[in-house]
């Protein structure tokens, strides 16, 4: 009797389960779809931009009388303003900057100390860049450089100050990491020529002081 009841229960369960299994087979099976490919955004460099920059400068300053050579060096930081015009993969632009400068140096000149100092430095440059590497922009730049220079000799207690105009050239690499933001690193060589420090350098005759600098700096720009 018990065996008959067990067999009857198994048969009933099988009859009830079969329709449910058939319905489950008819249900749609879940499928996985990979996210659609989205091409990386390519920067559009055309337009005005404003930024900040900072870095380090080192160079040489040669005096005529006394005949000494100074190696000024120091930090600098300031503001950048520019405009880019992109034509295909090429970029043409104009950039200007003005920096506070702590570049200075001194050396013994006989019993005295001779010092050359750069208080501020600015440039106005053209830029030519290649914009064909996604968001990377390598560029060449050249133009005018202008700076506030000082020279003094400890024996006189006087300082000669002069605003000098010269030239600059260099290279850089900029990367657009957001739709409006970019970061750059660049090298500039600046030649500010010579100026006469005269009596401030205790020279009876004209005493020319030269100033040349190598500048390595980084910056962040916001493109409008």
pLDDT tens string 99-140: 999 999 999 987 889 999 999 999 999 999 999 888 999 999
202 within 8 A of 155, measured Cβ to Cβ: yes
Any residues with CB less than 8 A from the CB of 81 and at least 6 apart, and which? 48, 49, 50, 51, 95, 96, 97
- pLDDT confidence bin for 36, thresholds 50/70/90: low
Query: Which pLDDT belongs to residue 17?
Result: 46
Answering whether pTM is above 0.85, one says: no
Asked if residue 66 has pLDDT above 90, the reply is no
Query: Which pLDDT belongs to residue 8?
Result: 45
Taking the C-alpha atoms of residue 10 and residue 18, their distance in angstroms, rounded to an integer, is 12
Q: What is the CATH number of domain 47-223?
A: 2.40.160.20
Asked if residue 76 has pLDDT above 70, the reply is yes
The enclosing H or E element of 39 equals none
- How high is the mean pLDDT of the chain? 85
Q: What is the pLDDT of residues 7-27, one digit of tens each?
A: 444 444 444 444 444 454 454
């Amino acid at each position: 009797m018990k065996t008959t009841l067990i067999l009857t229960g198994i048969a009933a369960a099988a009859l009830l389960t079969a329709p449910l299994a058939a319905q489950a087979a008819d249900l749609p099976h879940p499928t996985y779809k990979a996210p659609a490919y989205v091409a990386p955004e390519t920067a559009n460099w055309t337009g005005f931009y404003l930024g900040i920059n900072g870095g380090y400068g080192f160079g040489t300053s040669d005096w005529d009388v006394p005949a000494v050579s100074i190696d000024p060096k120091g930090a600098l930081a300031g503001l950048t303003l520019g405009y880019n015009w992109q034509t295909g993969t090429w970029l043409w632009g104009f950039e200007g900057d003005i920096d506070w400068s702590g570049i200075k140096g001194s050396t013994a000149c006989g019993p005295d100390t001779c010092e050359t100092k750069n208080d501020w430095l600015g440039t106005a440059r053209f830029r030519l860049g290649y914009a064909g590497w996604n968001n990377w922009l390598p560029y060449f730049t050249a133009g005018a450089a202008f700076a506030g220079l000082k020279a003094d000799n400890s024996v006189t207690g006087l300082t000669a100050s002069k605003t000098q105009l010269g030239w600059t050239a260099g290279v850089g690499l900029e990367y657009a990491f957001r739709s409006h933001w970019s970061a750059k690193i660049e090298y500039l060589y600046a030649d500010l020529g010579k100026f006469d420090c005269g009596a401030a350098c205790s020279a009876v005759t004209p005493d020319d002081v030269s100033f040349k600098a190598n500048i390595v700096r980084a910056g962040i720009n916001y493109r409008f």
